[in-house]
Amino acid sequence: MNLVLLGPPGAGKGTQAEVITQKRGLVQLSTGDMLREAVKAGTVIGEEASAIMKSGGLVPDEIVIKIVAERLSASDCANGFILDGFPRTLNQAAALDNLLQAQGKQLDAVAEIKVDDAVLIDRISGRYMCADCGASFHDTNHKPKVPGVCDRCGSTELIRRKDDNAETVRNRLMAYYRETSPLIGYYFAKDKLRSVDGMAPISEVSSQIEAVLANS
């Protein structure tokens, strides 16, 4: 099962990808996570991406396409994957089609997670994550069971992303509407697009995505 999660920053793509990958044994491919790792490791890609990510812009297509191409050819993707944060431009979507075609694979569905802008801003400014395993949390909507301790791995290193601030969020939303929202039409035309209500509680959104997968 190969799925793309499409939606603006804060829609819950990462949270939903976590839930569904655990349930179904799929691999979560988050280009945001891959780029943050490259920044942390100080690689050439990381150096190029760092300032762009801080400003809320999009990293150039050729960089992210290269990262995804490498990752998709790894053996753990054979049983299926969830792409979270890729593609984000029409160029990236076309490149993904080519990559999958070359591997004899295809997308089963694209789940568009729809959320109102005001809610997105609130979600992003309250969210934080585990520095060790990447599990995500929120100040009010999704607190860890034990305060300050990651539910998934028990780490106490819970951190906020550098780009989760009001100023950068505006740029990230603009980048979404300008560059990424055309993908809604792109996948609709291919009859791959399925919309889910991202305003619903986390478990309800997961059920809606499960229903999309079951019908694909």
User: Counting beta carbons within 10 angstroms of the beta carbon of residue 205, is it exposed (0 to 12), middle (13 to 18) or buried (19 or more)?
Assistant: buried
CA distance 176 to 174: 5
Tell which one of 3, 27, 53, 212 touches ligand AMP (CB under 6 A): 53
Answer yes or no whether residue 56 interacts with ligand AMP by CB under 6 A: yes
Least distance between ligand AMP and beta carbon 104 (Å)? 23
Kindly identify the residues of this chain, within the stretch 87-116, that bind ligand AMP according to CB under 6 A: 88, 92
CB-nearer residue toward ligand AMP: 158 or 207? 158
Is there a catalytic annotation at residue 172? yes
Among this protein's residues, is 24 annotated catalytic?
no
* Residue closest to ligand AMP (Cβ): 32
Nearest partner of 11 among 201, 202, 198, 205, judged by Cα:
198
Task: State which of residues 7, 9, 12, 198 lies at the interface with ligand AMP (CB under 6 A).
Answer: 9
Q: How far apart are CA 20 and CA 3, in angstroms?
A: 10
Q: Within a 10 A sphere around the Cβ of 43, how many other Cβ atoms? A: 12
Based on the shown chain and the rule CB under 6 A, indicate whether residue 12 belongs to the binding site for ligand AMP: no
Of 27, 59, 169, 196, the residue at the interface with ligand AMP (CB under 6 A) is: 59
Spatial distance between the Cα atoms of 44 and 64, rounded to a whole number of angstroms: 13
Contacting residue, 7, 8, 12, 85, with ligand AMP by CB under 6 A? 85
**Measured between alpha carbons, how far is 30 from 68 in angstroms, rounded to an integer?**
9
Closest listed residue to residue 13, CA positions, set 34, 30, 38, 36: 30
| 49, 67, 169 from 34: Cα distances, Å | 11, 8, 20
Question: Active-site residue 127, yes or no?
Answer: yes
Q: Is 183 in the site for ligand AMP (CB under 6 A)?
A: no
Nearer to ligand AMP, 174 or 211 (CB): 174
Q: Rule CB under 6 A: is residue 172 a binding residue for ligand AMP?
A: yes
Instruction: Scan for tokens 């979600």, then name that residue.
Output: 123
Choice among 24, 71, 152, 161 that is catalytic:
161
Residue ranges in contact with ligand AMP by CB under 6 A: 9, 31-32, 35, 52-53, 56-59, 64, 85-86, 88, 92, 163, 172
State the catalytic residues: 13, 88, 127, 161, 172
